[in-house]
Homo-oligomer: A and B are copies of this chain.
Amino acid sequence: MATKETAAVGVDLGGTSVKVGLVDSKGKIVRKAVLDTYAEEGPDRVVKQIKKGIHEVLKPGGYKIKGIGIGSPGVVQLKDGIVENPPNFPGWTKVKLGKKIIEEFKLASFVDNDANAAAIGELIFGAGKKFDSFIMITLGTGVGGGIVLDKKLFRGSHGFAGEIGHGSIDYAGPQCKCGSYGCIETYAGNNYLTARVKDALLQREDSLITRIMREEQIPLTPKLISRAMEAGDEFAISVVDDLGRKLGYSFANVANILDVTNFVVGGGVAGFGKRLFTAMEAGMKERVGKSLKSLCKIVPAKLKNEAGILGASALVYYKYN
């Protein structure tokens, strides 16, 4: 009889849905379940949904299961798999999620913060595989970050390290919802970006963006900016170039401080494609110390839509100690 192939379970716990995948050792999702989170019904119900999802992907059997990884919002106490105060999960305070999963499945289980899981996912399965050290940036509503040093996620003194999005590039810049000013998130976060572009569009009635919005009656989104850029609209191009350069400036700051020169960039806004990457690299190289200029590398993240599941399953393969 042939030896069974090994696989790990990855659980991407979100505010609206729980996504569960069975992931083989090469990072391929071989089975998948998506369930409602029912976050508003409190932690017991959420845990029930998680268990249900895991049972679903395990039931058909056929694999040697190495363990279960869960990427969760909120602060996670790694040692005991305790999830504290995930935003948008009412009634949650502290839940011993790891313990509950181990009791149910008798399998090694790892719970980590979802941003950390994303970085670990790129490290184990994605673009970070080839680097010893890299900075992970996820462009979305916020600008998420993760710092990988010598193949280990760097967590800082209190578990909060990696908030690259709240490094400021202008102390007198726009106020960020974190309380600071000019954080790179206030330039690259989806809502901040579209709000700024909307303002600028008032002076640019000629932009293709304005025309599409009017003709198709659709709202302004990063996707629309991207579409106009691809169609050659000058204003949209300038938005992407400016965004890329500013991201590059913030990467240069991080590289100057940490001497880590590899950046893996994922998330929606990264859909601006090659043009954004070229601008990021130009901005970074312009501002980074002389000795680091030739070492700068900015590459797109590899785990796209399934990054949540893959990152969570990667926790099982990651060396925590």
Interface secondary structure of A, over-half rule: loop
Instruction: Kindly provide the distance from the CB of A240 to the nearest chain B CB, expressed in whole angstroms.
Output: 17
Complex-state Cα separation, A169 to B164, whole angstroms: 14
**Contact A168 B169, beta carbon cutoff 8 Å:** yes
Query: Chain B residues near A160 (CB, 8 Å)?
Result: 259, 289, 291-292
Task: Indicate if A105 sits at the interface (CB-CB under 8 A).
Answer: no
**Contact B246 A163, beta carbon cutoff 8 Å:** no
Q: How many copies does the complex hold?
A: 2
Q: In the complex, which residue of chain B has the Cβ closest to the Cβ of A169?
A: B171
Q: What does the 1/0 interface line of A141-176 toward B look like (CB < 8 Å)?
A: 000010100000011111111111011111110000
Instruction: Kindly provide the distance from the CB of A62 to the nearest chain B CB, expressed in whole angstroms.
Output: 42
Q: 29 A-B pairs, CB-CB below 8 angstroms?
A: A133-B156, A133-B157, A147-B257, A147-B258, A154-B258, A157-B260, A158-B291, A158-B292, A158-B295, A159-B259, A160-B259, A160-B289, A161-B257, A161-B258, A162-B257, A166-B256, A166-B257, A167-B253, A167-B256, A168-B249, A169-B170, A169-B171, A170-B170, A171-B249, A171-B287, A179-B287, A180-B256, A180-B287, A180-B288
> Which residues of A come within 8 Å of B, CB atoms?
132-133, 145, 147, 154-164, 166-172, 178-182, 246, 249, 252-254, 256-261, 286-292, 295
